[in-house]
Structure 1
Amino acid sequence: MSLVYADLREYAYAIADGALAHAGPARMASQALVPAQLARSAGVMPRLYDIASATPLTREAALAMALAQEADGEALWLCGLLDVDEGVDQATLARALTTRLVLPLPAVGPCFFRYFDPRVLIQLQWLFTPAQMAWLMGPVRCWKYSIGGAWEDMRRPEVFAAESPGITRRQAFALQRMNVINTLLERLRPASVAALRGAGQDILRQLEKARDHGLARLQDQEEYAWHGVTVHPEFDRHPRMQALLANLPADADYPYRVATADLRPEDFDRMREDLNDPAGHTHERSFS
């Protein structure tokens, strides 16, 4: 479902991804959200657009621009619409949004947090607790974002917001691999928003298993996760995979990729069939 003009009356602000080439409506007032720690990257920081103060003509132009980009299959000039609490002005909103762009991760330190990216936002809905989501949204009571060709509404959880994000080690692991999760989701192309969330969780579980198998390189973890979501969620139980994982080449830059380089699609098909065999006859298969 596309945007309609009523959306630009209901939502007071829009947030845009500064890393995209498209600029927003020229006549709509905007400001860059730039944390002091990321001043050198000001050009790719998100922008906050003031819809409420724009004229009806400017709103129409903003809508027309988004619809044209959508029709051409391009990224839209905005990635979200924000409805805020009563009495919250633009300066207060901008300050809250900017503060959340730098997220402290345990054992890592402060990191750029692309929470405004719909591909990240949709995964945060299961990765974060309700209190963490309430902290993230702050004065934003409803966030409308575009994902998978549709617009979704996300309402702030009705719980007390956490005083600080309190990111756990598991959450930090996932956040550091959000690019990998989204890369694999683009290859999987889930058919619905719910499937995007579910597949994101499946990918994270496979990335964690890759880590637990001793795969330290991100590229190896990505390849392992791809096999986990396309071959079988427990493909590592197969005798052939167990043998490969037990004998990874220690001198290779990417041990898992090297170890599995000779496996053909039909080899993975056989593993899947063996693991789905209720009799569990995985040892009877011949791989040649």
Structure 2
Amino acid sequence: MTTGFLLVEPATLAHVPDLAAFDMRACTPRVLAHREELMPRLIDLAALDWEGRRIATERWQEEPEVERPPAICAWIDSAVDADALAEHIARYLVGPGEDGQPVFWRYYDPRVLSLTLEVFDPTQLLALLGPVHEWCFAWAGHRWRIAGLGAEIVQPDDQPLGWPRPDQWPRINRSEIADRIRRRLPALSVDQAAQLPAALDQILCSAGGQDAMATDELVNDAVQRMRHAFLTE
């Protein structure tokens, strides 16, 4: 890998300590400038030397195989430079949640993005990607690619187009439960994994609202149903 950008999660950077020495560009919304150390970061592969690219490539190739929270959340091919891409990514980190109050949306995390892709319509997705030509991420043991338009000029007021609508938040907010279910499933083929977000979304939507005491029961039931579905394919 010699071009593009790696999007790194600082909270899990300890899992890939040899990336910590690389120069990174934080994707920081203005309202969170005082918490920049917690914001996702970009590594510009073109700016690394040969050894740096080798290390970055090896760590990226490991992501589908490891059972831990994502450290490298994406490889991104973009029409713009690191500063402009970081600004665009930051634009979608903070906005109104289900109740209208500001929330921090970790859409870049594959565990959230995989479910968001099932919820969003094509117009929303293209707005979210903005200047991205290609967004690749590791999830459920495989790599996935999303194609964008690579728009070089993204208007600052475009956020509403790529931000979840109020009626979509209940589905997107179930990503943590969806990940609990996924982690208890056996290794999936790429075809099975491709069906998983829709199946998870359907099961969780049919369950409706769940209180804390019912969550474990919901997860157990979903795991059994999905194991049976995949075994009988």
- Please indicate, yes or no, whether the TM-score normalized by the shorter chain is above 0.5: yes
- The RMSD of aligned alpha carbons is 3.2
The amino acid of 2:182's aligned partner reads L
The within-5 A match list for 1:126-275 is 126-156=118-148, 163=158, 164=160, 165=162, 167-189=164-186, 191=188, 192-208=192-208, 211=209, 215=210, 217=211, 219-223=212-216, 225-226=218-219, 229-230=222-223
Report how far residue 60 of structure 1 moved.
1.0
Q: Which residue of 1 aligns with 2:39?
A: 45
Q: Deviations over 1:98-141 (max 9, x none)?
A: 11111322424221111111111111111011111111111112
* Partner SS, residue 174 of structure 1: helix
Q: Which residue of 1 aligns with 2:74?
A: 80
The amino acid of 1:206's aligned partner reads S
Identify if the C-alpha distance between structure 1 residues 228 and 206 changes in structure 2 by more than 3 Å, giving closer, same or farther: farther
Cα distance in 2 for partners of 1:172, 1:76 equals 22
Contact 1:185/1:199 (8 A) holds in 2: no
* Count of equivalent residues: 216
The amino acid of 2:4's aligned partner reads A
The amino acid of 2:137's aligned partner reads Y
* Partner SS, residue 10 of structure 2: coil
Identify if the C-alpha distance between structure 1 residues 28 and 158 changes in structure 2 by more than 3 Å, giving closer, same or farther: closer
* Partner SS, residue 142 of structure 1: strand
Q: Which residue of 1 aligns with 2:22?
A: 28
Q: Which residue of 2 aligns with 1:16?
A: 8
Report how far residue 75 of structure 1 moved.
5.5
What residue ranges of structure 1 are gaps of 5+ in the alignment? 1-7, 234-288
Q: Which residue of 2 aligns with 1:246?
A: none
Indicate the structure whose relative CO is greater, using CA pairs within 8 Å and at least 6 residues apart: 2
* Partner SS, residue 194 of structure 1: helix
Question: Relative to total residues, which structure has the larger helix share, 1 or 2?
Answer: 2
What residue ranges of structure 2 are gaps of 5+ in the alignment? 227-233
Cα distance in 1 for partners of 2:185, 2:101 equals 32
> Could you tell which deviates more after superposition, 134-143 or 183-192?
183-192
Q: Which residue of 1 aligns with 2:231?
A: none
Q: Deviations over 1:197-245 (max 9, x none)?
A: 133212321342xx2xxx5x3x145245336535679xxxxxxxxxxxx
Alignment of 1:101 with 2:98, yes or no, is no
Cα distance in 1 for partners of 2:65, 2:219 equals 31
* Percentage of pairs with the same residue: 24
- The alignment's TM-score, normalised by the length of structure 1, stands at 0.64
